[in-house]
């Protein structure tokens, strides 16, 4: 008999409080795929962090929904799962698609932990009950608008700023922000917008005392990142390139990354993320928890991951209000004294607001083996 009694996929549309622009494009809303499971005698929820189009990586929401409906969920239902940790083995024959796999794992783990009365934080080895919060700021056409937004965020208590940069909007922007806000902890994220030919230009960022430069080159250019790291004092941090434990260790060995941005969806789930965090800690490589504009479900799970002792740098676990006027959980993440509390209730430790979810649902699908 399957450990999974039922699986429902829901698509929701959640407007953003303001457009969020990166080198990938501009988001005005989140088209989110939610996974609800009845398993292990309980109910659990997961969230797929894939974007609407395959511009961050090869995954996208329509594709993830199709794969979960027709391949991953039927395989999981037909398997002999003893717990969420078995899902990796069951889904191993199906290559890639880590965000889709992570969404199903998250839902199963939520259900299993709720049945056990354990929290995500406990399961992931959290060592603190709150985490410092950094804010990720998109690209602005007007430097004045950017400075106003940063002034508001810092006034709210955010402890670190991450600026998105791209060719033509980098040195001048960073210089102005540094001059305006002094020694605020500051890092930049290029989202693979540059090439190795930009090395000398990027090296000029050294003068601004940045915490790191994140993913300047395409995800498969590990050697180029290593060459850049040799030319810069600013540590190079990889994001899109880190897709598995093996890839992460290769990047470290090559000198392509001195810091790791860890996103559970990108590596196949929170259990894989935990394995990578612990491996990085053993190599004395700092790790921090990145974000994918998650709802309150993913935000709760990220807070639990960010509370692991390997997470030595401030991550992107921000308040729900940073992106959403109304979240889909009854108690959204709130910024207090520059920190986000780590939920300690069973499973994710947050409850869905089903009325809100019903209101913004665009599609529902029950999946059978």
Q: Which positions are annotated as active-site residues? A: 164, 263
Whether the model clears a pTM of 0.85, i.e. scores above it, the answer is: yes
Domain boundaries, the chain: 4-117+353-367, 121-341
pLDDT score of 25 more than 80? no
pLDDT digits (tens, 9 = 90+) for 94-146: 999 999 999 999 999 999 999 999 999 999 999 999 999 999 999 998 999 99
Topology adopted by domain 121-341: TIM Barrel (3.20.20)
Cβ-based neighbour number of residue 20 at 10 Å: 20
Distance of alpha carbon 109 from the chain centroid: 17
User: CATH topology of 4-117+353-367 equal to that of 121-341?
Assistant: no
Task: List, in sequence order, every residue forming a beta bridge with 169; answer none if it has no partner.
Answer: 166
pLDDT digits (tens, 9 = 90+) for 132-190: 999 999 999 899 999 999 999 999 999 999 999 999 999 999 999 999 999 999 999 99
pLDDT digits (tens, 9 = 90+) for 183-217: 999 999 999 999 999 999 999 999 999 999 999 99
Superfamily for the 4-117+353-367 domain: Enolase-like, N-terminal domain (3.30.390.10)
């Amino acid at each position: 008999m399957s450990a999974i009694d039922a699986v429902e996929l829901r698509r929701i549309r959640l407007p953003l409080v303001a457009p969020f622009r990166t080198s990938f494009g501009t988001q005005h809303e989140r088209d989110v795929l939610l996974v609800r499971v009845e398993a292990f005698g309980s109910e659990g929820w997961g969230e797929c962090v894939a974007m609407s189009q395959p511009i961050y990586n090869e995954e996208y929401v329509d594709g993830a929904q199709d794969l979960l409906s027709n391949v991953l969920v039927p395989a999981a239902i037909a398997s002999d799962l003893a717990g969420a940790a078995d899902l990796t083995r069951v889904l191993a024959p199906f290559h890639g698609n880590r965000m889709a796999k992570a969404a199903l794992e998250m839902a199963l783990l939520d259900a299993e932990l709720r049945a056990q009365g354990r929290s995500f934080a406990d399961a992931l080895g959290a060592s603190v009950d709150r985490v410092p919060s950094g804010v990720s700021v998109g690209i602005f056409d007007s430097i004045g608008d950017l400075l106003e937004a940063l002034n508001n965020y810092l006034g709210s208590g955010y402890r670190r700023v991450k600026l998105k940069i791209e060719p033509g909007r980098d040195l001048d922007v960073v210089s102005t922000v540094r001059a305006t806000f002094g020694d605020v902890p500051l890092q930049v994220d290029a989202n693979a917008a540059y090439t190795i030919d930009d090395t000398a230009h990027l090296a000029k960022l050294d003068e601004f005392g940045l915490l790191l430069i994140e993913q300047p080159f395409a995800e498969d250019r590990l050697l180029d990142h290593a060459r850049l790291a040799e030319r810069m004092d600013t540590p190079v941090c990889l994001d899109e390139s880190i897709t598995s434990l093996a890839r992460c260790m290769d990047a470290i060995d090559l000198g392509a990354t001195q810091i790791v941005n860890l996103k559970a969806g990108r590596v196949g789930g929170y259990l894989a993320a935990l394995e990578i965090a612990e491996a990085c800690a053993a190599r004395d490589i700092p790790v921090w928890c990145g974000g994918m504009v998650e709802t309150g479900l993913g935000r709760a799970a990220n807070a639990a991951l960010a509370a692991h002792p390997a997470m030595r740098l401030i991550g992107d676990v921000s308040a729900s209000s940073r992106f959403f006027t109304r979240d889909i959980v009854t108690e959204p993440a709130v910024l207090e004294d520059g920190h986000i509390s780590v939920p300690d209730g069973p499973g994710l430790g947050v409850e869905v607001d089903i009325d809100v979810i019903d209101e913004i649902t665009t599609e529902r699908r029950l999946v059978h083996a």
